[in-house]
């Protein structure tokens, strides 16, 4: 058993090493990769991490998961480069907003969203692994908003990769489109598909299913939120926050805006790795499948409701499978039976699992009205403007009341990314030079009909000519 060997939650196949897990994303049996075993840090080990910079801390915490997959000392360099790309010297600074309330700002990366924290690292890890193997890839994804620009920003320096991002033409916010289409790089290819987001996803999925249209030797890679490398990178800022606050012996509660459950699952892992913390609070918007599960023991969702916090509009959070695997005490057969039934009907997942889940997390659901009220309250009381996702976490924590210790709200996007909401709430976000520069830049994007054959042909051309 070791932390750099990975197994699938569905029990199929052999154990994998870090490089395989990085390139594959999803396991061949449809499951998600988790390490055979987690590293554990006792009080003395945690004390010894105090005073480390973000990059040094990340290198220390991630080394056991990466093992020998990279050359000696490469991990340290890669991590340092990844976080040097952030515009704040602390990388993820803490801002105090009340006697016992802090905001952990995760949005100082190149696209002003917390996805950068994991993706900047993932891109550089890919670069190292692909160069060593001489393996060319296409990073392919569909986006309706935020993830696309963070993925492009992460992969445009990956030397063996072409990055292709599909979005539905005319159906994403102007700012988000510009964040993607103005990124320069010979290997960056934005495609505006003449269809809706479901068309984009359908076509991407079909390309992954049948990859023989690619030239020999090429492979498609997804950098979506089920990739283990993203999860492991997200465990770091929990350690960073507790260490920075001097809260090793003091109860610290995180309120986590949750969509696909990556961020929240990382908090759970940090706890299992020995980081002292109170029960983390899962903060969801009106798409509340996790909240209802914790309350009722039943899991399912009728559909997605669009909210003011769109990056959390998720029907069934994919990373939940990783937690469920542990809730079932790593019984892959039981997990396979449960996921087969995942869907619209509220499904019981077993009383044992439910009781364990309730010991791990608290939860709260905040609707659009609550989001606006929270933004306005905090703008008034502390002159601090939250983005809508972080507002969900703030409001969830407020409703739960103060505990005995510190509350840390995770802030996942810069509020300047949501200009329409600023108009609605009357709360102007602080200026962000990065966003203001966008409107002057040239946009590069290709329009294509929403047809699989055309997209495939274009991908093939990109591999052959790099255009």
Ligand X SMILES: *Cc1c(COP(=O)(O)O)cnc(C)c1O
Kindly state whether residue 260 participates in binding ligand X, applying the rule CB under 6 A. yes
Residues ≥6 apart with Cβ < 8 Å to 321: 9, 31, 32, 335, 339
Q: Are 118 and 234 in contact (CB under 8 A)?
A: yes
Residues ≥6 apart with Cβ < 8 Å to 448: 191, 192, 193, 194, 454, 455, 458
Q: Which is nearer to ligand X, 54 or 261 (CB)?
A: 261
Q: Which stretch binds ligand X (CB under 6 A): 35-43, 258-266, 335-343, 434-442?
A: 258-266
Kindly state whether residue 286 participates in binding ligand X, applying the rule CB under 6 A. no
Q: Are 150 and 115 in contact (CB under 8 A)?
A: yes
Kindly state whether residue 93 participates in binding ligand X, applying the rule CB under 6 A. no
Return the structure tokens found at 40. 């554990």
According to DSSP H, which parts of 193-227 are helical?
Answer: 197-209
340 is catalytic: no
Interface size with ligand X, residues (CB under 6 A): 18
Residues 129-158 that bind ligand X (CB under 6 A): 146
- Residue 222 CB, shortest distance to ligand X, in Å, is 15
- Residue 294 CB, shortest distance to ligand X, in Å, is 15
- Give the CA dihedral 57, 61, 67, 70, nearest 10 degrees: -30
Q: Which is nearer to ligand X, 35 or 257 (CB)?
A: 257
Kindly state whether residue 261 participates in binding ligand X, applying the rule CB under 6 A. yes
Residues 46-85 that bind ligand X (CB under 6 A): none
**Would you list the DSSP string of 323-372?**
HHHHHTTT-HHHHHHHHHT-SSS-EE--HHHHHHHHHH-EEEE--HHHHH
Gap between the Cα atoms of 226 and 8, Å rounded? 12
Kindly state whether residue 115 participates in binding ligand X, applying the rule CB under 6 A. yes
Q: Which is nearer to ligand X, 281 or 312 (CB)?
A: 312
Query: In a 10 Å sphere around its CB, with 0-12 CB exposed, 13-18 middle and 19+ buried, how is residue 453 labelled?
Result: exposed
Q: Which of 307, 311, 334, 407 binds ligand X (CB under 6 A)?
A: 311
Residues ≥6 apart with Cβ < 8 Å to 283: 255, 256, 257, 258, 363, 364, 366, 392, 393, 395, 396, 397
Kindly state whether residue 312 participates in binding ligand X, applying the rule CB under 6 A. yes
Gap between the Cα atoms of 201 and 142, Å rounded? 6
Gap between the Cα atoms of 144 and 222, Å rounded? 16
Q: Which of 412, 415, 421, 435 binds ligand X (CB under 6 A)?
A: 412
- Residue 216 CB, shortest distance to ligand X, in Å, is 35
Kindly state whether residue 92 participates in binding ligand X, applying the rule CB under 6 A. no
Residues 186-245 that bind ligand X (CB under 6 A): 225
- Residue 394 CB, shortest distance to ligand X, in Å, is 13
Q: Which is nearer to ligand X, 221 or 312 (CB)?
A: 312
Q: Which stretch binds ligand X (CB under 6 A): 24-32, 78-86, 237-245, 260-268?
A: 260-268
- Residue 309 CB, shortest distance to ligand X, in Å, is 7
Phi-psi region of 287 (alpha: psi -120 to 50; beta: other; left: phi over 0): beta
Q: Which of 59, 113, 397, 459 binds ligand X (CB under 6 A)?
A: 113
- The residues binding ligand X (CB under 6 A) are 113-115, 146, 225, 257-264, 311-312, 389, 412-413
Catalytic residues, by residue number, are 115
């Amino acid at each position: 058993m070791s932390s750099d060997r990975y197994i699938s939650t569905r029990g199929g196949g052999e154990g994998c090493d870090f490089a395989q897990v990085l390139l594959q994303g999803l396991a061949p049996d449809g499951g998600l990769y988790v390490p055979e075993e987690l590293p554990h840090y006792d009080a003395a080990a945690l004390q010894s991490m105090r005073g480390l910079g973000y990059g040094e801390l990340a290198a220390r915490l991630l080394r056991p998961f990466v093992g020998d997959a990279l050359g000696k000392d490469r991990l340290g360099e890669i991590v340092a480069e990844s976080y040097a790309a952030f515009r704040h010297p602390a990388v993820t600074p803490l801002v105090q907003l009340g006697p016992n309330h802090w905001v952990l700002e995760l949005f100082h990366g190149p696209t002003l969203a917390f996805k950068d924290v994991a993706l900047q690292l993932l891109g550089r890890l890919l670069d190292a692994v692909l160069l060593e193997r001489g393996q060319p890839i296409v990073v392919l994804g569909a986006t309706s908003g935020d993830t696309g620009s963070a993925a492009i920003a992460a992969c445009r320096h990956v030397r063996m990769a072409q990055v292709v991002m599909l979005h539905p033409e005319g159906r994403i916010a102007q700012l988000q489109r510009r964040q993607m289409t103005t990124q320069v790089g010979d290997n960056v290819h934005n495609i505006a598909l003449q269809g809706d987001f479901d068309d984009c996803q359908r076509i991407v999925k079909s390309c992954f299913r049948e990859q023989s249209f690619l030239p020999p030797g090429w492979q498609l890679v997804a950098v979506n939120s089920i990739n283990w490398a993203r999860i492991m990178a997200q465990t770091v800022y929990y350690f960073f926050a507790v260490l920075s606050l001097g809260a090793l012996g003091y109860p610290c509660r995180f309120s986590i805006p949750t969509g696909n459950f990556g961020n929240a699952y990382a908090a759970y892992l940090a706890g299992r790795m020995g980081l002292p913390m109170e029960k983390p609070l899962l903060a969801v918007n009106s798409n509340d499948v996790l909240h209802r599960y914790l309350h009722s023991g039943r899991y399912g969702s009728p559909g997605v409701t669009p909210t003011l916090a769109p990056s959390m509009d998720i029907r069934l959070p994919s990373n939940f499978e990783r937690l469920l695997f542990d809730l079932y005490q790593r019984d892959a057969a039981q997990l396979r039976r449960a996921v087969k039934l995942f869907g619209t009907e509220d499904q019981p997942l077993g009383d044992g699992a439910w009781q364990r889940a309730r010991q791990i997390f608290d939860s709260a659901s905040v609707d659009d009205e609550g989001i606006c009220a929270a933004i306005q309250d905090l703008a008034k009381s502390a002159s601090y403007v939250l983005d809508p996702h972080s507002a969900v976490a703030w409001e969830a924590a407020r409703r739960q009341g103060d505990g005995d210790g510190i509350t840390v709200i995770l802030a996942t996007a810069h509020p300047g990314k949501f200009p329409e909401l600023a108009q609605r709430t009357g709360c102007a976000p602080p200026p962000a030079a990065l966003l203001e520069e966008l409107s002057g830049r040239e946009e590069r994007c290709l329009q294509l009909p929403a047809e699989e054959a055309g997209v495939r042909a274009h991908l093939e051309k990109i591999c052959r000519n790099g255009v």
